[in-house]
Amino acid sequence: MNRVDPTSPFGHKIRPRHRDRLAVVYIRQSTPQQVVSNRESTDLQYQLRQRAVTLGWADDRVLVIDDDQGISGTSVENRPGFQRLLAKVSLGHVGVVFGREMSRLARSCADWHRLLELCALFQVLLADADGVYDPADFNDRLLLGLKGTMSEAELHILRARLHQGKLNKARRGELFTCVPVGYVRVPDGGIALDPDEQVRSVVSLVFATFAELGSLTKTHAYLVANNIQFGLRVYKGPGKGRLVWQRPRRSSLYEMLHHPFYAGAYVFGRCPFDPTRRVPNKPKSGRRVAPPEEWVCLLKDKVPAYISWDQYEQNRRRFAANDLGGGSKGITGRAPTLLNGIVRCGRCGKPMGARNARAGASPRYACDSEHQEYGGPRCQSVVAAYPDRLIEALALKHPTVERAAAVPVADPRLGEKVCLAVMLRAGQTLTPDALLAHLDDAGLSKYDMPEFVLILDDIPLTANGKIRKIDIVADIKNGKLAPLPVRFEQKRASA
């Protein structure tokens, strides 16, 4: 049995119910460099295990969670250790949580107060280098809230200081991370054209071909047909600076023709971060291409150029003229394709995109990412009406469903998501979860599951007896109908 220090000032807070549960020691450093360099800080955090034993926990009842080493505490996302901690607290397995500083646990007030709420609910103590705190006690809660606010404010100050330093360097045209294809960094910190003549020739050929053909698709097809490759420099790792040749990607070609760097201009702020575009669990997502009037700085004639600024402006005007409007994901007058980017290819498993999706046409789902990016062969395609109507047909097999209609719902990331609207038979009831379970039992793939459900009293019909989907779509767009978000949880096989 462990001996408890009778002189401990925290004895009145630590009760037997706390010692009956686990003591969790949470350890985190913000970056991999800190894990390697700041060994003393890591050692001090691991010493909290001994402090837990001193306060009365058995050694085998102390759990060390160090899964988040080298991960920032700005968000709960991508932090498996913190998520594991929240899960154990929610299950009532934890009596106290140790952290060298409260900032080790969370740098975000949202995540910090979520932890405080859970700890107060399940009677879990928090402890750092200064003391032991009870989140259910008003005075301790006030102090913990202040610590969390100071932790977030400290991060804000550090970020603001670093950001202002970056802006100052950018306004001088000296801030570079990696340079575009056809350029290299020189030892004095400047930028020069790639010393390899073939690399420079390919870049010049791209702009000359686009000027002649006037289309990104035709330019890409020309490069693929003639087996012309891009020369790229490895910008990090053991092979840094080494020249490698790769097939031309359509997205890389698009970026090259849009980048003002090739016209000799240094630009900062072309792709600012937009939080509304951020995809969960993808830290690098959320960027958007800003128009020139929103750029932070534009310094012409700052780097060596492949084309003139007038030619760059002419290319931008040509792209604008070639743009016929929203893509296949947009909800315009195009034919509805509910599973764009959701349905997957049965051969290779890749997402299939909508093609020929315009009004009056017969849209298809195509697995052609290899063709789109590299000009390679297409995998396969299928008429879009089949999977769209499959959802409706399977829903109608439920004994309580009288009418069913799969309609699109606007989504800022995917363009559209699937909403299944159903009208039940008189006197019948059906929950959205039960409807999804029926679709699963009927054989609908998890990738094709609707993400919204509408249970309506009436679904309008045309004079010919067909469902007026256009009315449902309009009512959703106008806010008269509010589809219920649903999420299909696949049943796990019992052990």
What is the C-alpha to C-alpha distance for residues 2 and 363, in angstroms, rounded to an integer? 72
Identify whether 362 is a catalytic site residue: no
DSSP string, 64-113: EE-TTTT--SS-STT-HHHHHHHHHHHTT-EEEEE-SSHHHH-SSHHHHH
Q: How many CB atoms lie within 10 A of CB 259?
A: 15
Length of the chain equals 495
Which is catalytic among the residues 30, 151, 252, 328?
30
CB atoms < 10 A from the CB of 445, how many?
15
Pairing of strands 297-299, 22-26: unpaired
**Main-chain dihedrals φ then ψ at residue 420, nearest 5 degrees:** -100, 115
Residue with tokens 């985190």: 28
Residue 439's CB: how many other CB atoms inside 10 A?
A: 22
- CA 462/CA 149 separation, integer angstroms: 59
Instruction: State the Cα–Cα distance between residues 270 and 183, nearest whole angstrom.
Output: 19
Nearest to 216 by CA among 319, 321, 320, 326: 319
**Helices 197-213 & 216-225, crossing angle to 10 degrees?**
130
Sign, Cα dihedral of 13, 14, 15, 17: positive
Angle (deg, nearest 10), helices 138-171 and 109-121: 160
- Cα separation, 384 vs 362, in Å, equals 8
Q: Determine the distance from the C-alpha atom of residue 113 to the mean position of all C-alpha atoms in its chain, rounded to a whole number.
A: 24
Report how far residue 326's alpha carbon sits from residue 341's, in angstroms, rounded to the nearest whole number.
Answer: 16
- Give the span between the Cα atoms of 139 and 143, in whole angstroms: 6
CB atoms within 10 A of CB 24: 23
Q: Are 144 and 135 in contact (CB under 8 A)?
A: yes
For residue 416, give the nearest of 360, 468, 363, 459 by alpha carbon: 363
Q: What's the token pair of residue 273?
A: 């971060």
Catalytic residues: 30
